[in-house]
Structure 1
Amino acid sequence: MEDTCSKFEAARKASDINIEKACTICKFTPPTLSERERNPSSWRLGELVSLHASMSDIAKKILIEAVNDIFLS
């Protein structure tokens, strides 16, 4: 699961979305973002939809792969 965790962070960074911006997009605090990236199964669909909409095409592919890793592994 550690690999999946790094994929969420990689997707965020690939879109040049820092922690503060991600928190604004998803409407939560930095500790919550940190928890989501450490424990990917704790993401809520609405948060992922908002984050996905703010990402570049390359980052969206990484994010989708990370989500697939949770549900299809």
Structure 2
Amino acid sequence: MNNPFITIEEAIEEMKKGHMVIMVDDEDRENEGDLVIAAEKITPEIVNFMINYGRGLLCLSLHEKDVDRL
């Protein structure tokens, strides 16, 4: 049986290429997946895809200095 999952290192390489990955958590936690892409690769089209097909919250990580600036 083929494993549908990739390693963290492989996911990082995919994101460096501008690809989106689905990061999943454990079955005994929330058992859900999140669409993840490197911030420098994001486009309006990708945001639209995430909103339309992700059907959840759109989140991002910010450095404390950027939060203070905003």
Q: Give TM-score scaled by structure 1 length.
A: 0.31
Query: Comparing both structures, which one devotes a greater share of its residues to helix?
Result: 1
Query: Comparing both structures, which one devotes a greater share of its residues to strand?
Result: 2
Whichever of the two has the greater Rg, that structure is 2
Per chain length, whose mean CA-contact separation is higher, i.e. which structure has more relative contact order (CA < 8 Å, sep 6+)?
1
Q: Give TM-score scaled by structure 2 length.
A: 0.32
